[in-house]
Amino acid sequence: MNIDNYIQEAGAFATLAGILGGFAFSAVVQLLGSERQSKVLTATIVTFAFSSMMSFYAVIVFVLALAATAETNSIIAQVDKTGNGAMLGLLGGIYVFLLGVALAGWIRSKAAGIATSAFAIITMCMTSVALTQVLMAMPPTP
């Protein structure tokens, strides 16, 4: 992979992780201000908080990898390995975020809970299929 592609990919992943983390953090703040108290609400807050922390970790790693690559004008192997962990964190953050969306519906009502859970499961399946297809299409790295 050339340096320009690496920098663009790191920037795109940092942007995606930042947006996802921001949405998850916003949900935490919104839910913390709720007057209601229930186990489902607490689980939803914890889920969104975990998603935001995973996403923010990915942002930090991708931005640092981008900066190190741009500064040295080379792809640093150790930084690239750390980026693999950040990518797993980002993917985990996406799935945990979807779990939070599924849980959030249950705060409102049983019907909303069923609908948001179904939507989250469908989205998780679609994401998994897309991820699998992309990974299978990539050539193995030496």
Whole-number pLDDT of residue 1: 73
pLDDT digits 0-9 by tens, 25-35: 999 999 999 88
Residue 99 banded pLDDT, cuts 50, 70, 90: very high
Q: Is the pLDDT of residue 141 over 80?
A: no
Give long-range contacts, CB 8 A cutoff, 24+ apart: 79-85.
83/10, 85/61
Give long-range contacts, CB 8 A cutoff, 24+ apart: 108-116.
none
Within a domain: 102: yes
Closest by Cα among 104, 85, 92, 86 to 41? 104
Within a domain: 79: yes
Within a domain: 32: yes
User: What is the phi-psi region of residue 113: left when phi exceeds 0, alpha when psi lies from -120 to 50, beta otherwise?
Assistant: alpha
pLDDT digits 0-9 by tens, 44-96: 999 999 999 999 999 999 999 999 998 998 888 888 888 889 999 999 999 99
Identify the CATH number of the domain in which residue 120 sits.
1.20.140
Within a domain: 33: yes
Q: Report how far residue 33's alpha carbon sits from residue 38's, in angstroms, rounded to the nearest whole number.
A: 13
Residues whose CB is less than 8 angstroms from the CB of residue 43 and which lie 6 or more positions away in sequence, other chains included: 103
Within a domain: 72: yes
In this prediction the pTM is 0.88
**Greatest Cα-to-Cα distance within the chain, rounded to the nearest angstrom:** 55
Range of the domain at 36: 3-137
Is-contact 51 98, C-beta < 8 A?
Answer: no
* Tokens of residue 13, six digits: 């992943």
Number of domains in the chain: 1
